[in-house]
Amino acid sequence: MLLRPWTIDDAPALFRLSRSAPDLVRQLPPLDDLAACRALIERFAQPGGRAFALTENGVPIGNVGISDALNAHRNGWFHYWMGAETRGRGLASRAAATVATWALDEGGLFRLELGHRVENLASGRVAERAGFIAEGIERAKLLYDGVRHDVRTMSRLATDPVPGLQPIRLVLE
């Protein structure tokens, strides 16, 4: 297992992963072809954020990222997802904990924030295991397929305890 920046060569894997589960098709930007996947990978490298491919045997199986991190408050928006075939193995929690710990210890951030639909219990468990603490509910925040969804907001601070999960090797460049 390895966490590393996405590369343009990962576009076919991103395309495959983006179609592996209905929630990814709905939540990710439209990734209708390899050009759209390459464009998203290029956006991953823009200032103010980082995105890491979680790889197994060199093949991307998920993503952990931070965006909106260029601000005076040293906050970042945290996000993660896994391809359908590798869910349920605890890898998302380990990857999220690894990236969050790096961002708060070495990445210059003090606070990471995330939000998940309240009915997405698996995402909530990932966040909790990665050391995030629930803060509240944002009512009817998201709109998917004509249905409004409440969002549970969570955060992890640099002063919060580091979770006791086995880290995954993180390569920054």
50-96: per-residue pLDDT in tens?
999 999 999 999 999 999 887 889 999 999 999 999 999 999 999 99
Q: Looking at the predicted structure, is the pLDDT value of residue 8 above 90?
A: yes
> What is the reported pLDDT for 70?
78
- N- to C-terminal Cα distance for the chain? 16
Residue type present at position 20:
S
For 68, the 3-state DSSP assignment is coil
Mean pLDDT for 147-170 is 97
With a CB cutoff of 8 Å and minimum separation 6, the contacts of 128 are 134, 154
Return the minimum-mean-pLDDT range out of 32-36, 42-46, 150-154: 42-46
Q: What backbone torsions phi and psi does residue 143 show, to the nearest 5 degrees?
A: -125, 115
Mean pLDDT for 121-143 is 97
> What is the reported pLDDT for 148?
97
Q: Which domains does the chain possess?
A: 2-112 (3.40.630.30)
Given a contact cutoff of 8 angstroms between Cβ atoms, the answer to whether 63 and 81 are in contact is yes
Alpha-carbon span 20 to 15, nearest angstrom: 9
> What is the reported pLDDT for 71?
80
With a CB cutoff of 8 Å and minimum separation 6, the contacts of 136 are 152, 153
Does the predicted TM-score (pTM) go above 0.85? yes
